[in-house]
Amino acid sequence: MQEIRADAKNLRALLGGTKFSVDYYQREYGWQSEHVTELIKDLAEEFKESHRPGNDRSAVEHYHRYFLGSIIISNRDGKKFIVDGQQRLTTLTLLLIFLYRHLNDEEQKAQLADLIFSRRFGRRSFNLDIEERYACMDALFTGKPFDETGQPEAVVNIYRRYQDVAEYFPEELRGEALPYFADWLIENVYLVEITVYSDADAYRIFETMNDRGLRLTPTDMLKSYLLANITDERERIEASRVWREQVKKLQEIGKGEESDGIKAWLRSQYAESIRDRKNGTRIGDFELIGSQFHRWVRDKKERMGLTNGAAFARLVKEDFSFYSR
């Protein structure tokens, strides 16, 4: 394993003048109202523990620190890709936009703007640099109308989660306390940025942090494993598109259909054993695929002919595409 760095950073240091792209490991932005409101509630409660009306702004420096967990960044050719942590960073950016639009102090607003976007050749470039989100983020930042029609689901979700921020941000923090809260958020809220310098290391850490914590589904973990082994970037991007589209179609049929579909595909094409309950023998491929198919594929990759990046790409683009249909 190559060099791995872990640095505790407040939001100002983490987001200031930095561009992040979303890596292929990541799911689409999927937080719902309850996730956003819980984050806002936690931040507000922690801030109110320290804040007293009439405090000088400089007192914020000594307010409680708040730790928001870790994010994983893959640094490839000097560009930062979010491997794990996109949900939090996206939501925090929406909160920063809300604060920017409601503050009156132009100097403080300029501080927040640096954490949201930079400007080049007269065009905003948001620090979460994801092209399909640009129109939505620009509309939120400027307060212009945004038409959801025909937009990707993740973009519509971002737009609606901003409405949650605006609706559920505590009323008692909207007046005198707002500039204090904004200072506290960017200076006293910390995340640990874990930086790796190879895709293989990024996936290993991602799997360890998410698989054991059961925060992602086996379908998410299988996608991450397959894409991590596709070495050609263009092939990886195309495979990611195919996977995303086919999983979405399965999910539209009903809850859990994408998981059931993957199990049926793997069992029908690759399973060679099933447990004989009468003799008490150990569980076979059939049962293992049913309970942990993402691990089973990793363990049986040679049987499946997954010997190189092209084989992994073919499995997704041809086999998974065919059998999921």
Per-residue pLDDT tens for 18-51? 888 876 655 678 888 888 988 998 899 899 989 9
Q: Are 186 and 64 in contact (CB under 8 A)?
A: no
Compute the C-alpha angle 158/162/165, nearest 5°. Answer: 140
Percentage of the chain beyond pLDDT 70 is 90
Q: Are 246 and 325 in contact (CB under 8 A)?
A: yes
How far apart CA 76 and CA 24 sit, in angstroms, is 13
CA atoms lying within 13 Å on the CB side of residue 36: 25
pLDDT tens for each residue of 65-123: 999 988 888 887 778 888 888 889 999 999 999 999 999 999 999 999 989 987 665 56
Q: Which class for 266: exposed (0-12), middle (13-18), buried (19 or more C-beta within 10 A)?
A: buried
Amino acid at 232: D
Cα–Cα distances (Å) from 154 to 27, 29, 148, 182, 239, in that order, read 9, 5, 11, 27, 19
Nearest to 112 by CA among 13, 16, 18: 16
How far apart CA 263 and CA 259 sit, in angstroms, is 6
Q: Are 49 and 59 in contact (CB under 8 A)?
A: no
State the sign of the Cα–Cα–Cα–Cα dihedral 276, 281, 286, 292.
Answer: positive
pTM summary value: 0.68
- Residue 281: predicted pLDDT: 57
Tokens linked to 158: 């971002």
How far apart CA 14 and CA 18 sit, in angstroms, is 7
- Strand 20-22 versus strand 79-84 pairing type: parallel
CA 41 to centroid of chain Cα atoms: 20
